[in-house]
Amino acid sequence: MVDKIRKKLAKWRRKVLSFVGRIVLLKSVIIALHLSYLFLFMMLVNVTKEVKRIQRDFLWGLGQDHKKIAWGKWDTLCKPKNEDDLGVRDLEAFNKALLGKWKWRMGTNKDGLWKEILESKYGS
């Protein structure tokens, strides 16, 4: 997953993107790349840290040859848009929310094909 993100961003680093363009790219393309993983699996702590680092470096325009100033805290940038922040998703919280949704659906939805498959594979 981390390699896919690096490859996707490597294509975009060569192009000149504004700050707003980098935010849009982070919010749409990067999240969509690994959304399927977040639905099903709990992300490992070191994978979460690495993906956050890649996202931060891409957003602030940090490169291998030079460093730029980060103009805000990452935790602040991950706050919702209605709090006047940028609304970049916090991967750890997003992953927990998606897994919690599956757990909730297991308890409330009694007759789903996906539930039958999970129960036959892992037991009730």
Asked whether the beta carbons of 34 and 40 are under 8 A apart, the reply is no
Domain residue extents for the chain: 2-122
Alpha-carbon span 65 to 122, nearest angstrom: 48
Contacts 24+ apart (CB under 8 A), 69-75: none
Percent of the chain with pLDDT over 90: 0
Quote the pLDDT of residue 121: 75
- Residue 30 is predicted with a pLDDT of 67
Cα gap 123→9, rounded to integer Å: 40
* 75-79 average pLDDT score: 73
Here the tokens at position 115 are: 């539930």
> Residue range 12-16: average pLDDT?
65
Separate counts of helices (H) and strands (E) for the chain: 8, 0
Write the secondary structure of 65-82 as one string of H (helix), E (strand) and C (coil): CCCCCCCCCHHHHCCCHH
The reported pLDDT for the residue numbered 13 is: 62
Higher pLDDT, 45 or 1: 45
pTM of full prediction above 0.85: no
User: What is the Cα–Cα distance from 97 to 103, expressed in whole angstroms?
Assistant: 10
Average of pLDDT values for 9-16?
68
